[in-house]
Amino acid sequence: MSTAILEARDLCAGYGKKQIVNGVSLSLNTGEVLLILGHNGAGKTTFVRALFGLMTPMAGQVLYEGKEITGRKPAANVADGIAFVPQGHGIFRSLSVHDNLELGGFVEPDKSVLPQRLEQINGLFPILKERASQTAGTLSGGQQQMLAIGMALMHEPRVLILDEPSIGLAPNLVERVMSSITEINQRFGTSILIIEQNVPLSLPIAHRAAVIKTGEVVYEGAPEPLQDHVKLMQLF
Amino acid sequence: MRRELLGLAAASLVAFAAADSRAEDPEKFTIGAILAMSGSGDWYGKVMSAGIELAVEEINAEGGIDGIPLEAVFEDHKSGIAREGVNAINRLINMHDVQAVFSSFSPPTIAIAPIADEQGILVVNGGGVSTAMVGISDNLFHNRSLASDLGRAAVAFADEEGWSRMAQIAWRTDAGESIISEVEPYWEELGGEVVATEWMDQGATNIDTQIAKMRTANPDFLALWLFSPDPGMAMRRAREFGIDVPVVGVEYTADVAEIGGDHMEGYYYTSDYFTPTDDWSQRFQEAYRERYGEDPEFYAANYYEGVYLIAEAIRRARAEGGDYYDGANLARIIREQPTYPSVYGGEMTFQDNGVAQKRVALFQIQDGESEFQRYLDLE
Amino acid sequence: MDLALQLLVNGVITGSHYALLGVGFGIIFATTRIVHFAYGPIFTVAAYMAWYSAAMLGLPIPVALLIAILAAVLLGVGSYVLLYEPFEKRQAPHLVPLIASLGLYIVLENLVGIIFGSGVRVVREFTNGIHFMGPVFFTTIHIWQVVVLVVLGGALAVFLRWTSYGKAVLAMTDNPEMARIIGIDTRKVAILVFAIGSAISAPSAVLILLKDGATTHMGFLAVFMAFVAVIVGGIGSIKGAVIGGFALGMVESLGMLRIPTEWQSSIAFMLLFLVVLLRPQGLFGAAMRR
């Protein structure tokens, strides 16, 4: 029986007076890959931003390893082992690849472990070692995504949250990214919460899946049933 | 019989009460003053308002004008912004119902002239120097020498000294341009040559380029067609950049001395000159010194004198009777009776162009002090 | 030729001054996206504090400089914490801190006038030495203006490149949200850049005090030139601010070699317009992210 490493209970969040996430309860179990699907505007991004502390929830709770962290600032969450890769290439475009990765380890108190982590990440994404001194903004889309993921891994997070990592990438690159995510999960045991729109390529890597529609969870369970198009349409 | 006596007594009481007051008398005479209360020229606003306040206090201490008190209301044209001057006079008219205002700085004075004509407001300028102000309104009078008069006196002095090559620097404003346009032909008539003409923004501190260009032109003397505090800046820069020739200007104030410091030594300038000569000028200097802790210079004197000018015009108008308290009427009085006591000594007389004629004096800075040299004659 | 040389030297000197102002203003703008107009009057306060310390209290100039820096840093950090940050917390649109900054500008400038009075303030005890090299004249303060740019600019470059807080600044300049996501305390960084930017403006202010004297409105030119230098050089680029400042200085001096000085301030504007038209991101700026 796996325990929930990250859990949302009746989480409500929104912008100004407008509430977008309406009482979502979801758990990410230790060591699993949880896939969250949903159409545009369903509230997936708002949900994870509220989880991670980029927004203050309007109601509900967020628990991490059993303790409450509702609304805690990103800096504290990062230091505690949660990493977030935002939508649209979360990198520093004007800095070099190497500097970007180094910044990923900003909160690491013991800087001496960083070179070793860097090696691990270079092993995962060899292209980053090749282009270490190149300006990040000049990398291709897929490379930038790998860099973003690499940055998140620099402080050895126990939980990794990814918001649509496949957006704007060609299918073969998407496969590459998905297989990297599987590798991260299996090699480092990182619990992964991933939001996606590309259903066919992301379902295979998920242990469990959830569907959010207009701010509410309408499905939570095994990923296989969602391969059925009809069922998917009903839910979306 | 008793009723008639009572009626007579009542009538005479009323007549007695009315004898020295009229329906046309306002509760108080409010004079507006549109000055540089903020911005780079705020020194002027400070001393001008000081002169005005002192005069108003003195007049009120003597019972006001025919028993009616005087009041001054100050407005800010932010160191010479025309639009602010217009806003100011409109506020003064609408909120205080003024019939006379003081103006200062050429741009706002020029801007309010049409309003003065339209609304019949007397305007007295004791500070602005641009020749462009002459003749733009029948209600506008100046009790200071205009820049062109000061400039011509300056080059007349240069000619007397035998200098022929002039490098000049002027403010890029009405005042600066008016000096150059009047002085250049006069200088050339005297046989002089203009070897450099440079321009600077009012209050600019980076004039290194201008100074460098003037030095290259190899002049016999520098002419500073600038006003406070810029002559100090220009003099300092000139000496720092190795210009040794004599320098002549049209202004010298405490701020100029402060910025120029020791470099001001030897600086010549032409100016209206306030120095205590007779009774009134001495009393003014003492009263000003006691109230403000420093001696008055001519800007304070002009505006102090201006209050008395307006007060006297009101007194003369009131003596004529009728609906006397009207700006255009006051202006007519000044045109028809142009001679008034001057705090400089004796009297001043307004010419047809609205400018009160005063002699131009030449000064030189010697040992840090401004030393009067002589009066200069202009044709 | 002599004139050209003199104007070239003038351009380097004024360029250094504008460059340093641009760097100080620019680091605040690039990192926090706040148009900190109050940078101008804070510059003025620094000059007046130095004047008061040196001329009124008789303290040596280095001490007066330290007091000026302290005053500038306090006011700069204060304006962030007390004025801009509350607006940021409420997620107000970017226009709002700009307007608040203008308000602060007016309040501070008037305060200086009320407290210190109008009229220029100089430090009489200080004599500005005059030097010449061939046909070129310059003063001691001019030398210092160049030195200060080199020293402070260099120190800042080292700080940004080699210290962890410096890299945090660069990160936040590039992508503020991402900076938060990787765990940078963006509030601390904002306070840091306000402190650094304000501190940088103080030596410039003191040098101007010694060279020209202090006036209540001296801050206008300081923030205006800083702003133009940053726009011309490119927002987010320290190097750009320096280049922008030098471009301004050169245009004002060497640019006037053949052109009548009547056009001096117009030329600065024309340079600004040209850059904004042809290359809106500035000479070295990256395309703005928001």
Domains (range + CATH), chain B: 29-144+276-345 (3.40.50.2300), 148-271+360-376 (3.40.50.2300)
Alpha helices (runs of H) in A9-57, residue ranges in sequence order: 44-52
Question: CA-nearest residue of chain C to B232?
Answer: C212
Measured between CB atoms, does C106 come within 8 Å of chain A? no
Q: Mind listing the domains of chain A with CATH numbers? A: 4-88+159-235 (3.40.50.300)
Sign of CA dihedral B149, B154, B160, B165: negative
Question: CB distance C178–A106 less than 8 Å?
Answer: no
Name the 3-class secondary structure at A1. coil
Q: In chain A, how long is the greatest CA-to-CA distance?
A: 52
SS3 per-residue string spanning chain C: CHHHHHHHHHHHHHHHHHHHHHHHHHHHHHHHCCCCCCHHHHHHHHHHHHHHHHHHCCCCHHHHHHHHHHHHHHHHHHHHHHHHHHHHHCCCCCHHHHHHHHHHHHHHHHHHHHHHCCCCECCCCCCCCEEEECCEEEEHHHHHHHHHHHHHHHHHHHHHHHCHHHHHHHHHHHCHHHHHHCCCCHHHHHHHHHHHHHHHHHHHHHHHHHHHCECCCHHHHHHHHHHHHHHHHCCCCHHHHHHHHHHHHHHHHHHHCCCCHHHHHHHHHHHHHHHHHHCCCCCCCCCCCC
SS3 A107: coil
- CB contact set of B325 (below 8 Å; sequence gap of 6+): B24, B25, B26, B29, B99, B314, B317, B318
Asked if residue B79 lies in contact with residue B36, where contact means CB atoms within 8 angstroms, the answer is yes
Query: Is C160 within 8 Å of chain A by CB?
Result: no
Chains C and B touch (3+ CB pairs under 8 A): yes
Chains contacting C (3+ CB pairs below 8 angstroms): A, B
The domain C2-121+135-278 is placed in CATH, from the list 1.10.3470, 1.10.730, 1.10.287, 3.40.50, at 1.10.3470
Q: Closest CB to A151: pick one of C167, C170, C182.
A: C182
CA distance B216 to chain C (A): 6
Q: Quick one: pLDDT band at residue B7, thresholds 50, 70, 90?
A: low
Mean local confidence (pLDDT), B58-82 = 94
**What is the chain C residue with the closest CA to A15?**
C91
Nearest CA in chain A to C183: A75
Are C128 and B212 inside 8 Å of each other by CB?
Answer: no
Contact state of C183 with A93 under an 8 Å Cβ cutoff:
no
CA–CA gap between residue B146 and residue B351 (Å, rounded): 13
Task: Rounding to the nearest 10 degrees, give the CA dihedral for residues B36, B37, B43, B44.
Answer: 40
Which two three-digit tokens encode residue B61? 């201490």
Using a CB-CB cut-off of 8 Å, the residues of chain A touching C175 are 90-93
DSSP H helices, B277-357, are 279-292, 298-320, 327-336
Minimum Cα–Cα distance from B233: chain C residue:
C212
Query: What sections of B161-296 are H helices per DSSP?
Result: 174-189, 208-216, 230-240, 254-260, 279-292
C177 interface with A at CB cutoff 8 Å: yes
* Predicted local confidence at residue A225, as pLDDT: 82
Segment C227-247, tens digit of pLDDT: 999 999 887 788 889 999 999
Q: What is the mean pLDDT of residues B317-339?
A: 92
Evaluate if residue B14 carries a pLDDT over 60.
Answer: no
Do C164 and A106 count as a contact with CB atoms less than 8 A apart? yes
Mean pLDDT of chain B: 89
| pLDDT value for B253 | 86
Closest CB to B209: pick one of C128, C208, C253: C253
Peptide bond into B229 cis (omega under 30): yes
* Chain C interface, best mutation among A94, A96, A98, by max C CB count within 10 A: A94
Contact assignment for C264 to B209 by CB distance below 8 Å: yes
Mutate: best of B168, B181, B206, partner C, most C CBs <10 A: B206
Sign, CA dihedral C59-C65-C66-C69, equals positive
Residue contact C3–B206, C-beta within 8 A: no
- Token pair for residue B207? 């004039």
In chain A, residues with a C-beta closer than 8 Å to the C-beta of C173 are: 94
- The residues of chain C scoring below 70 in pLDDT are 286-290
Nearest-CA distance from C106 to chain B in Å? 11
pLDDT of residue B360: 83
Q: Is the pLDDT of residue B203 over 70?
A: yes
Write the Ramachandran bin of B182: left for phi over 0, alpha for psi from -120 to 50, otherwise beta.
alpha
Kindly list the residues from chain C whose CB atom is less than 8 angstroms away from the CB atom of residue A102: 167
- Residue type present at position A139: L
| Residue pLDDT, tens place only, B209-245 | 899 899 989 999 999 999 888 999 999 999 988 899 9
Please give the distance of CA B11 from its chain centroid, rounded to a whole number: 49
Question: Over the stretch B103-140, which tens digit does the pLDDT of each residue have?
Answer: 999 899 999 999 999 999 999 999 988 778 888 999 99
Which pTM was predicted? 0.77
pLDDT tens-digit readout, B271-313: 887 888 778 999 999 999 999 999 998 899 999 999 999 999 9
CB-based contact C183 A86, cutoff 8 Å: no
Q: What pLDDT, in 10s, does the model give residues B258-269?
A: 889 899 999 999
List the single residue in C with minimal CA-CA distance to B40: C217
Q: What pLDDT does B182 receive?
A: 85
Neighbours of chain B (3+ CB pairs under 8 A): C
What's the CA gap between C176 and A234, in Å, rounded? 39
Are residues A54 and C177, on separate chains, in Cβ contact within 8 Å? Answer: yes
User: Do C175 and A106 count as a contact with CB atoms less than 8 A apart?
Assistant: no
Question: Residue B165 gets which letter from DSSP?
Answer: E
Q: Which among C167, C174, C181 has the least Cβ separation from residue A74?
A: C181
| Confidence band, pLDDT 50/70/90 cuts, at residue B31 | very high
Query: Whole-angstrom Cα distance, residue C87 to residue B330?
Result: 55
SS3 string of A142-156? HHHHHHHHHHHHCCC
Chain B with chain C: Cβ pairs closer than 8 A:
90
Among C3, C13, C127, whose Cβ lies nearest the Cβ of B213?
Answer: C3
How close C84 gets to chain B, by Cα (Å)?
Answer: 27
Q: Which residues of chain A have pLDDT under 50?
A: 1
Burial C46-79 (b: 16+ CB within 10 A, else e): bbbbbbbbbbeeebebeebbbbbbebbbebbbeb
CA distance B144 to chain C (A): 23
Are C137 and B242 a contacting pair at CB < 8 A?
yes
Encoded tokens for B213: 């260009």
Contact with chain A for residue C175, Cβ under 8 A: yes
Subunits adjacent to chain A (3 or more Cβ pairs under 8 Å): C
* Nearest by CB: C212 against B39, B233, B242: B233
User: A30 CA to chain C: closest CA distance, Å?
Assistant: 22
Out of C7, C120, C137, name the one closest to residue B255 (CB).
C120
Query: CB burial class (10 A; 0-12, 13-18, 19+) of residue B126?
Result: buried
pLDDT of res. C257: 84
In this prediction, residue B19 has a pLDDT band, given cuts at 50, 70 and 90, of very low
Cβ–Cβ below 8 Å for C124 and B261: yes
pLDDT reported for residue C290 = 37
User: B-chain residues within 8 Å CB-CB of C252?
Assistant: 206, 209
- Rounded to 10°, the helix B298-320/B327-336 angle is 100
CB pairs under 8 A between A and C: 60
Nearest residue of chain A to residue C182 (CA atoms): A104
Comparing CB atoms, the residue among C168, C173, C182 nearest residue A78 is: C182
Q: What is each CA distance from C246 to B19, B286, C19, C235, in whole angstroms?
A: 76, 53, 6, 15
C10: closest CA of chain B, how far (Å): 7
In SS3 terms, B38-83 reads as: CCCCHHHHHHHHHHHHHHHHHHHHCCCECCECEEEEEEECCCCCHH
Which of C3, C119, C124 is opposite residue B216, by nearest beta carbon?
A: C3
Q: C94 CB contacts (<8 Å, ≥6 apart)? A: C33
Q: C167 to chain A: nearest residue by CA?
A: A103
pLDDT of residue C289: 43
